Amino acid sequence: MQKITPCLWFDGRVDEALDLYKSVFKDFKVNALLRNTEASPGETGSILTATFEIFKQQFMVLNGGPQFKHSEAVSFTINCDNQEEVDHYWYGLTKNGGQESDCGWLKDPFGISWQVTPTILPKLLMDKDPKKANNVMKAMMEMQRLDIAKLKEAYDK
């Protein structure tokens, strides 16, 4: 068991979120489900909490109600080795009501923020040549879904 596990607060739709993550992340697995009892605040039998893993990172979801909302102040970065991975996660997490944002950021249909980031991006942005780094930053700032070929093209200018 890892020492720190992010807990994501939901106002319903936990079942749908688990289904989406299972469809997007190949290695997704649910470790435990805790269902509401008669003594719980939620509907008896519905999921109160679930723990799951993505890439061996544990998460917990809590079906806690409408008191708290997700924001971009907390996001999860998916490091992608190639454009195929970027596209897979981008389109998988934005389908069915997700929202595209700028610079590789998106919200899934449940309001969870993700950064879908090519692993080459930090290398390009931290290049010793400030002109190259600036060109990449400028190109990235004009994108929603990050395009590795266009980032490299900007770097090579």
Mean pLDDT of the chain: 96
Give CA separation, 47 vs 13, 16, 34, 43, 109, in Å.
9, 11, 6, 9, 18
Residue 1: pLDDT band with limits 50, 70, 90 = confident
Helix (H) or strand (E) holding 123: helix 120-125
- 3-state secondary structure (DSSP) of residue 65: coil
CB 60, CB 5: distance < 8 Å: yes
Residue type, 42: G
Domains, the chain, with CATH or none: 1-67 (3.30.720.100), 70-157 (3.10.180.10)
Mean pLDDT along residues 128-140 = 98
Half-sphere exposure of 15 (CA within 13 A, CB side): 4
Q: Supply the pLDDT for residue 134.
A: 98
pLDDT band for position 108 (cuts 50, 70, 90)? very high
Of the chain, the percentage scoring pLDDT greater than 70 comes to: 100
pTM of the model: 0.93
Q: What is the predicted pLDDT for the residue at 117?
A: 98
Mean pLDDT, rounded, for 108-116: 97
Helix axis angle for 130-141 and 148-155, nearest 10°, is 150
In Å, how far are 37, 126, 136, 155 from 122, measured between CA atoms? Answer: 47, 6, 10, 12
Q: Which residue reads 């390009």 in tokens?
A: 124
Rounded to an integer, the average pLDDT of 20-28 is: 97
pLDDT value at residue 41: 84
pLDDT of residue 42: 86
